[in-house]
Amino acid sequence: MLSSLVGFLSNGVLDLLWWQILLATVVLTHITIVSVTVYLHRCQAHRALELHPVASHFFRFWLWMTTGMVTVQWAAVHRKHHAKCETDEDPHSPRTYGIRKVLLAGAELYRVEAKNEETLRKFGYGTPNDWLERNVYAKYPSLGVSLLAVVDVALFGVAGVSVWAVQMIWIPFWAGGVVNGLGHFWGYRTFGTADASTNVAPFGILIGGEELHNNHHAYVTSAKLSNRWYEFDIGWMYIRLLSALGLAQVRRVAPTPHLVKGKVVLDTDTVRAVLLNRYDVITRYARAAEREYGKELKRVKHVSRRERLEMLHEVRRWFRQGQTGQGSSRRLQLTGIYERNQKLRTYVELREDLLAIWERSTASPEELLLHLQQWCHRAERSGIAALEEFSLRLRQYACREA
């Protein structure tokens, strides 16, 4: 009897080998990641999809046990992050707190903001408020993780303590630290958003697709985070699976540029399409400008190869940012290229004018159309072949028929 009890406490009900326990831990933490990205992030915070009550309740229960996070708090903090991104009011911006603080103590920053009643009142709208939420999940958030500890020890024995510990640090580290920290500090940028968001990696597997953070900031309400052919969003794969089972309904995905070959007339439909695909437009414009700048930079004799690469990197970052600036990049001015090169001045000026059209998005369709016509006219009369080609491509943008 005593030996059976000792065996049970040592090995648990499942009596697994070490590698089987490791595999089980990976699977369990992955389910938690999927629950955060599909339910908390894409469904609750951004309403990019609707979940069937069965799926919704499963995710809520699983997160209650594995994280103790309350839906209204998570959604409110995340929405505030988007509303106040990269400012002093951003709950977890590396620009404000530093990358070390966000990476290592991101969960603590979240907990502090989650206690802010004003944040919950202003940004916590539309989240579950039923009997279960009020009387179980929100009222006793620590009960779930305590119950999980008991379950882990019962299933895995003494090793269950380690399994539970890994589950407890999984989301705080990957979501609170890596996504919120590295996702605004290191990686590549596909779109010129006004914030510092980056894609940490093109393969969104480990963090459920949240690695594609710049894509998310560009198209906040998209249920799909991958955008380029080489990017993979495993969270989107699960959403498609849930949709096939009738457990989810996708509401929005990022727009795919639709071009009508041979279309040359600018109309209000063109304006709508350009505004809808603004990040695709500015990214393509930036690439054209960067190529021109690179050609001109090679002609400067007093600049070393290393300096040339640094300048090109800085100008690339400047051209791809999502907001208007005050003139040209500092590096452009230092090399003297900007002052003596009309082509580059035209690229910079037209970029400012193009972004200004987006800032007038509340204007009437007729006014926006006039501004776009003027922009295309100037680009096509610039004498710069690349700008003429870009303008002709811009004319081809159109909205897809419903």
Average pLDDT estimate for 313-324: 66
CA distance 84 to 122: 13
pLDDT band, residue 336 (cuts 50/70/90):
low
Query: 49-88 pLDDT, tens per residue?
Result: 999 999 999 999 999 999 999 999 999 999 999 999 999 9
3-state SS assignment for residue 208: coil
> Is the model's pLDDT at 325 over the cut of 50?
no
DSSP class of 222: -
Q: What is the pLDDT of residue 313?
A: 74
CA gap 383, 393 in Å, rounded? 16
Per-residue pLDDT tens over the stretch 378-388:
999 998 888 99
If one compares 293 and 183, the residue with the highest pLDDT of the two is 183
Per-residue b or e along 317-328, where b marks 16 or more CB atoms closer than 10 Å to that residue's CB: ebbbbbeeeeeb
Tokens 């208007």 map to which residue? 324
Six token digits for residue 241: 């699976």
C-alpha 146/C-alpha 129 separation (Å) is 23
**Average predicted confidence (pLDDT) for the chain:** 89
| Confidence (pLDDT) at 326 | 43
pLDDT of residue 204: 96
Query: Environment class of residue 58 by beta-carbon count within 10 Å: exposed (0-12), middle (13-18) or buried (19+)?
Result: middle
pLDDT in tens, 102-157: 999 999 999 999 999 999 999 999 999 999 999 999 999 999 999 999 999 999 99
Residue 209 · residue 201 · CB < 8 Å: no
Q: Quote the pLDDT of residue 335.
A: 56
The letter for the amino acid at 300 is V
What pLDDT, on the 0 to 100 scale, is given for residue 1? 53
* Residue-level pLDDT at 330: 53
Using a CB cutoff of 8 Å and minimum separation of 24, what contacts does 151-156 make? 151/65, 153/12, 154/12, 154/13, 155/12, 155/13, 155/14, 156/11, 156/12, 156/14, 156/16, 156/21, 156/24
Contact by Cβ (8 Å): 388, 382: yes
